[in-house]
Amino acid sequence: MKTLALIVTMLVSEMIASAQDPASIPPSAVSRAVTIQHVTVASRRDFAGTIREFEKQLGTFDPEALKPLGGPNPQIEQIKAKVEAMAGSSGFMRFGGIHKFGELVTVAGMPAGKANQYTIGNPLIALQMVKHKFGAGLYVPLRVLISEDASGVTHVEYDLPSSLMGQFEDPEVNKVALMLDQKLSALIRGSGDLE
Tell me which architecture the domain covering 36-192 has in CATH.
2-Layer Sandwich (3.30)
Q: Which amino acid is at 192?
A: G
Q: What is the pLDDT along the chain (195 residues), one digit of tens a residue?
A: 444 443 444 444 444 444 455 566 777 788 889 999 999 999 999 999 999 999 999 999 999 988 877 777 878 888 899 999 999 999 999 998 888 878 877 777 777 789 999 999 999 999 999 999 999 999 999 999 999 998 999 999 999 999 999 999 999 999 999 999 999 999 999 998 875
- Say if residue 27 is preceded by a cis peptide, omega within 30 of 0: no
Distance CA 145, CA 155 (A): 8
Confidence (pLDDT) at 74: 79
Cα(169)–Cα(175) distance, integer angstroms: 11
Strands (E), the chain: 38-42, 59-60, 93-94, 99-100, 115-121, 142-148, 154-159
CA dist., res. 109 & res. 5, Å (int): 7
How distant, in Å, are the alpha carbons of 19, 28, 102, 112 from that of 13? 10, 26, 21, 22
- The pLDDT value recorded for residue 100 is 86
Q: What's the pLDDT at 11?
A: 44
Looking at residue 105, what is its pLDDT? 77
User: What predicted TM-score, i.e. pTM, was given to this entire model?
Assistant: 0.82
